[in-house]
Amino acid sequence: MDGRFRCIEWLAYCTFFIKAIMKNLIVKSYLLPILLIIIIGAYSCSSSNKVMSNNPDIMTAIDSNRWTFTVIQVQPQVGRSQIANGSYSVICAPNKLNSYLPYFGRAFAGADVLNNTQSPLNFISTNFTLNKQEVKAGRWSIIVTPTDQRQVQQMNFTFFTNGTAALDVTMTNRSPIRFTGTVSSK
């Protein structure tokens, strides 16, 4: 009988500690997300201050239409995004737009897929319209419409004066594609 009592006492002792540990874990599990939210909020506040810094070289490049957009990431409409190797770019000069961009996505009827072995975003345009507008302080929207390229309807650039940039390309017979990267003076 003495052995059974010790075994029951030991089980009660273990269940007490298990309940105490579980109670602490439940309390800690509520504190962990709250702590993470506070840390992430503090980090995002410090990183947003960095975004607002203005680079006069980039502002001058945007004003004079002499800039280079370098691709870091490619995001097709369908499928997963891919990291670019840094060799893809769009170079803008006042009378010339040099686009060297990859394309992967869906081609619809009428797309020149069989006769063309290169990307439809590989071209040099000398006949294009460029409309730029400062949307907010430090954020520019530049819409380029190459009239001598029938595959590309519109290239919509979003530039920030801290050097980050995005490009959304609308095409005639293909699904749209998005590029993120950096902008720099030419």
Residues in CB range of 168: below 8 A, 6 or more apart:
155, 156, 158, 176, 177, 178
Average pLDDT over the chain reads 80
The token pair at 3 is 């052995």
The dihedral region occupied by 17, where left means phi > 0, alpha psi between -120 and 50, and beta the remainder, is alpha
Q: Which fold has domain 56-185?
A: Lipocalin (2.40.128)
Pick the residue with more confidence: 19 or 74? 74
The C-alpha atoms of residue 164 and residue 184 are separated, in whole angstroms, by 9
The answer to whether residue 5 scores a pLDDT higher than 60 is no
- The pLDDT value given to residue 151: 86
Give the pLDDT band (50/70/90) at residue 77.
confident
- The pLDDT value given to residue 50: 44
User: pLDDT tens digits, residue range 94-137?
Assistant: 899 999 999 887 777 665 655 666 788 899 999 999 999 999 88
Contact 171, 152 (CB under 8 A): yes
- The pLDDT value given to residue 103: 86
The C-alpha atoms of residue 57 and residue 22 are separated, in whole angstroms, by 58
Nearest-10 Cα torsion for 13, 16, 18, 24:
-140
DSSP-assigned beta bridge partners for residue 168: 156, 178
